[in-house]
Amino acid sequence: MPCCHHLREVEIPYLTRNPIDPAVLLAEVSGPGRGGTTLFVGSVRQSPEDGPVVEIDYTAYEPMAEAEFERILREASDRWPEARIAARHRLGVVPLGEASVVVAAAAPHRGQSFDACRWVIEEVKRRLPVWKRERLADGAEQWSDNAGARHPTGPRSSGS
């Protein structure tokens, strides 16, 4: 049952401003020939280094992020042709504990589903043009990136 992710009949955006329901992604990738499904959920967490983060405001270079997601999933389909993969990234303000990113990968064998899911989330972290502004319990705000750097925020720019 070959399936190309990028030939989805209905184009579902990868970016959303609503809470992400893992069950929806599990349903999207399920199929009778795919017995193993791995799902990854990344959530806004309290970071021991920074003290309590109460929420994160995610922004993106949106058309590029959609295109980059599409490229990542197409590359994953090339690597794991039998896998079916779904992904979402949330934008806007995400409260503590809610999911910022969800990836689901279903495949005939469990190893493929683990490997594909892991590969996609690593590529998302590495390539997706998304930024986060963390709001701490004391009201301070900072830009925080995947390399661990922190910068205090300045005035909000009008258009971004």
User: Which residues in this chain contact other proteins in the complex, by CB under 8 A?
Assistant: 42, 58-61, 63-65, 67-68, 71, 89, 100-101, 110, 121, 124-133, 143-147, 149, 151, 153-160
Q: Which is nearer to a copy of itself, 61 or 143 (CB)?
A: 143
Which of 73, 59, 61 has the alpha carbon at shortest distance from 104? 73
Q: Which residues pair with 55 in a beta bridge?
A: 95, 135
Which of a copy of itself, other proteins, none interacts with 80 (beta carbon under 5 to 8 A by kind)?
none
Task: Yes or no: say if 9 and 87 are a contact pair by the CB < 8 Å rule.
Answer: no
Q: How many CA atoms lie within 13 A of 117 on its CB side?
A: 23
Residue 118 lies near a copy of itself (rule: CB under 8 A)? yes
Residue 108 lies near a copy of itself (rule: CB under 8 A)? yes
Selected binder of a copy of itself within 7, 10, 11, 23 (CB under 8 A): 23
Distance CA 51, CA 138 (A): 9
CA distances from 89 to 3, 130, 138, 155 (A): 22, 9, 27, 25
Shortest distance in whole angstroms from residue 85 CB to other proteins: 16
Which of a copy of itself, other proteins, none interacts with 44 (beta carbon under 5 to 8 A by kind)?
a copy of itself
- Tokens read off for 143: 């830009």
Residue 133 lies near a copy of itself (rule: CB under 8 A)? no
Which of other proteins, a copy of itself, none interacts with 91 (beta carbon under 5 to 8 A by kind)?
none
